[in-house]
Amino acid sequence: MEKKEVSSGNRRQTQKEETRKLILENSRDLFNELGFDKTSTRAIALRAGVGVGTVFSHFPDKSSLLIAVLLDDLNATQADAMKRIPEKSPVCDRFLHLARFFYTYYAKRPDLSRTLLKELWFVKGEWGEKLTTQAFEFVFLVGNMLEQAKKRGEIRPETDTLLCARAFFSHYLIVLYEGLNSPDIDVETMIGTLKRLLEQLLAGVGQTR
């Protein structure tokens, strides 16, 4: 009896995860085809072959769906980038490598990416927390890269690497914002701008005395 209950529970959990994946896949397709504003939860439910109530049982609103799609995509993009990262390169080049993958992701879907930035700045609730967590995890990843650079003697030993990682991330975001505001998003131009910003940051601007 107990084994049957466990087996039934596992099946329900598997079915729930498959339904969630189905909703996300069809949400992604519709967001890319129609745009965020023109995509309704009813259309998502219809495309996924589930009821509207089922969609809301997994995601409280359309913005949460957008964040979920974004997080899945960004996690996959980061994993792909990390597989190919040039391990022995300077930290600036390694960060630019990561940035190129993310900028390319956004450049392939400019309208949706602009909506993402507009919708995601001050998101509340569970999905807002997940988005914030993902951002902090990325900053910590960059912080670890900077720690390795410190050990190699690339940056000064007294550098606060976590603070520096936040500066790297800030530069990344402002270039993303500028790029998405351009009529034609050019990844190479964005990478060039980010490189100059990071080089300026690493060189410093204060007068030595």
- Higher pLDDT among residues 191 and 205, named by residue: 191
Q: Which of the residue ranges 38-42, 124-128, 134-138, 148-152 would you say has the lowest mean pLDDT?
A: 124-128
* CB of 168 closer than 8 Å to CB of 98: no
User: Tell me, which fold does domain 1-58 have in CATH?
Assistant: Arc Repressor Mutant, subunit A (1.10.10)
CATH T-level fold of 60-203: Tetracycline Repressor; domain 2 (1.10.357)
DSSP letters spanning 19-48: HHHHHHHHHHHHHHHH-TTT--HHHHHHHH
The pTM for the full model equals 0.86
pLDDT one-digit tens code per residue, 159-198: 999 999 999 999 999 999 999 998 889 999 999 999 999 9
Is residue 23 within 8 A of residue 65, CB to CB? The reply is: yes
Q: Which pLDDT does position 164 carry in this prediction?
A: 96
Residue 2 has pLDDT above 60, yes or no: no
Position 61 scores a pLDDT of 87
Domain boundaries, the chain: 1-58, 60-203
57-108 pLDDT, tens digit each: 999 888 889 888 888 898 999 999 999 998 889 999 999 999 999 999 999 9
The whole-number pLDDT of residue 173 equals 94
- pLDDT of 6 higher than 60: no
